[in-house]
């Protein structure tokens, strides 16, 4: 009897040991939030969750059943039925709708330097003038293209949400945030515009910026917010880039960091001319799944940035499960075009795991559209890039920022999908 009991205990212990080793072996390759960061942020408290075991159970809305119950089983059904209705749900409930106001658009190249960057590049400064009746708004676009490449080049267009003074060319002051030299050396054009040209980043009841020019009053509950205005500005820059002889119009990537990263995703969803979307640490209201309520939440976004989204979005504060969409559906709107998501290890506010899961859950749409992509459900290790078909991801060590190390990976990915 005693012997049997001893043997049983030994067998159970062995089983437990084998299971623990399996978990550790898998864990070695997988990113997990640093426990010290979790503890530090949790202590700072403020009622936000940074612990994976406290993420509530949730069910993501189904990508492949239409609002009328049609099963989306082909690329054709996706493109004709499901994609348009998901886009509509994001317009109506999240970012808002662009008004149908007629406007005029004019491009003025106000500065052309064919010997920029020590003669290696051509620099253009372009004014994109949006006019309605006697009023107008100007978007300042700066563009560099490499001189040693004779044919049109692929290019990155950065939404600059850091420079508030658009008259100061941001490439001079931002260094790693917009690394022109490094990109030119790798054969890419670099374009940038300042989001504040479209709409200053504060709540003024939509009086200034493009809202002041184009909105019809009273504003409906699904009228565009500030992020949608910035995304619209990216499309106006694309209008210019599409006609610039140095740029390959079918190879333009839209890039944004943080609130700019949320904007880049929405620009890519609304405007299919963007061949690639890069969303750097976009977090809540960007790549991160809202239903996880990890780090920043819908309620916090609405409270602190009431101008970013449409009014309808306020209905979902603390009611994430009633949102008809989640962010994997936003990422799916980019398919079959190229999509790159990245996060930073210390930036738990932006929920790296929730951003990765969002990408993972969007992959079936890439596959339905014939862009075979496959990424594991578990996150890659810190600083290890994952590229599969038209999607890419990395999580970098360090804090919330857009660094040269991120750009190098964007360009490695772009080398595989744009060149």
Taking the complex as a whole, how short is the minimal distance between the CB of residue 280 and ligand GTR, in angstroms? Answer: 10
DSSP H helices, 61-199, are: 75-77, 83-90, 116-119, 180-185, 195-198
94/184 with CB nearer ligand GTR: 94
Q: How far apart are the first and last CA of the chain?
A: 72
Q: Which is nearer to ligand GTR, 226 or 258 (CB)?
A: 258
Nearer to ligand GTR, 160 or 296 (CB): 296
Residue whose C-beta lies closest to ligand GTR? 258
CB of 260 to ligand GTR, least distance (A): 7
Q: Which is nearer to ligand GTR, 130 or 234 (CB)?
A: 234
Q: Cα 286 to chain center, whole Å?
A: 6
Axis crossing angle, helix 83-90 with helix 259-270, rounded to the nearest 10:
140
- Whether 307 is a known active-site residue: answer no
**104-115, strands of its sheet edge to edge:** 104-115, 121-132, 135-146, 189-194, 153-160, 247-257, 276-280, 338-344, 391-396, 386-388
**Cβ closer to ligand GTR: 270 or 296?**
296
Using alpha carbons, select from 222, 58, 238 the residue that is nearest to residue 156. 238
Kind of pairing between the strands at 391-396 and 386-388: antiparallel
The active-site residue out of 235, 311, 378, 400 is 400
Residue 300: CB minimum distance to ligand GTR, A: 7
Tell me if residue 13 is catalytic.
no
- The strand pair at 104-115 and 121-132 is best described as antiparallel
According to DSSP, residue 257 is labeled E
Closest distance of CB 292 from ligand GTR, Å: 15
Q: Catalytic one among 195, 196, 258, 279? A: 258
Binding region for ligand GTR (CB under 6 A): 258-259, 283-284, 296
- Which bin fits 133, alpha (ψ -120 to 50), beta or left (φ > 0)? left
Min CB(276)–ligand GTR separation in Å: 21
Say how far apart CA 363 and CA 384 lie, in whole Å.
19
Could you give the residue numbers annotated as active site?
Answer: 258, 400
């Amino acid at each position: 009897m005693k012997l049997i009991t001893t043997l049983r205990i030994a067998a159970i212990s062995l089983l437990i040991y084998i299971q623990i080793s399996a978990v550790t072996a898998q864990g070695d390759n997988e990113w997990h939030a640093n426990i010290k960061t979790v503890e530090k942020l949790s202590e700072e408290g403020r009622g936000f969750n940074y612990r994976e075991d406290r993420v509530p159970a949730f069910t993501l809305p189904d990508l492949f059943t239409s609002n009328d119950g049609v099963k989306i089983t082909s690329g054709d059904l996706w493109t004709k039925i499901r994609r348009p209705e998901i886009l509509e749900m994001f317009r109506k409930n999240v970012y808002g709708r662009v008004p149908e106001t007629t406007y005029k658009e004019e491009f003025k190249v106000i500065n052309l330097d064919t010997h920029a960057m020590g003669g290696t590049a051509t620099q253009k400064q372009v004014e994109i003038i949006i006019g309605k009746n006697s009023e107008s708004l100007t978007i300042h676009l700066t563009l560099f293209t490499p001189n040693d490449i004779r044919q049109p080049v692929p290019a990155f267009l950065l939404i600059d949400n850091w420079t508030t003074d658009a008259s100061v060319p941001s490439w001079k002051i931002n260094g790693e945030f917009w690394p022109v030299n490094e990109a030119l050396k790798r054969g890419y054009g670099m374009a940038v515009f300042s989001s504040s040209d479209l709409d200053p980043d504060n709540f003024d009841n939509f009086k200034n910026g493009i809202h002041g020019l184009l909105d019809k009053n009273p504003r409906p509950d699904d009228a565009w917010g500030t992020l949608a205005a910035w995304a619209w500005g990216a499309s106006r820059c694309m209008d210019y880039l599409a006609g610039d002889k140095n740029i390959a119009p079918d190879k333009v990537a839209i890039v944004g960091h943080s609130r700019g990263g949320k904007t880049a995703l929405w620009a890519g969803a609304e405007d299919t001319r963007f061949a690639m979307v890069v969303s750097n640490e976009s977090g809540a209201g960007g790549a991160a799944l809202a239903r996880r309520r990890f780090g920043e939440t819908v309620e916090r976004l609405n409270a602190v940035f009431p101008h970013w989204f449409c009014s309808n979005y306020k209905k979902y504060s603390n009611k994430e499960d009633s949102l008809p969409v989640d962010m994997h559906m936003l990422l799916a709107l980019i398919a079959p075009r190229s999509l790159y998501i990245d996060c930073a290890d210390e930036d738990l506010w932006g929920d790296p795991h929730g951003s990765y899961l969002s990408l993972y859950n969007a992959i079936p749409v890439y596959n339905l559209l014939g862009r075979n992509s496959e990424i594991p459900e578990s996150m890659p290790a810190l600083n290890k890039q994952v590229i599969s078909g038209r999607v890419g991801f990395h999580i970098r060590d360090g804090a919330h920022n857009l660094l040269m190390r991120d750009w190098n990976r964007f360009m490695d990915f772009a080398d595989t999908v744009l060149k």
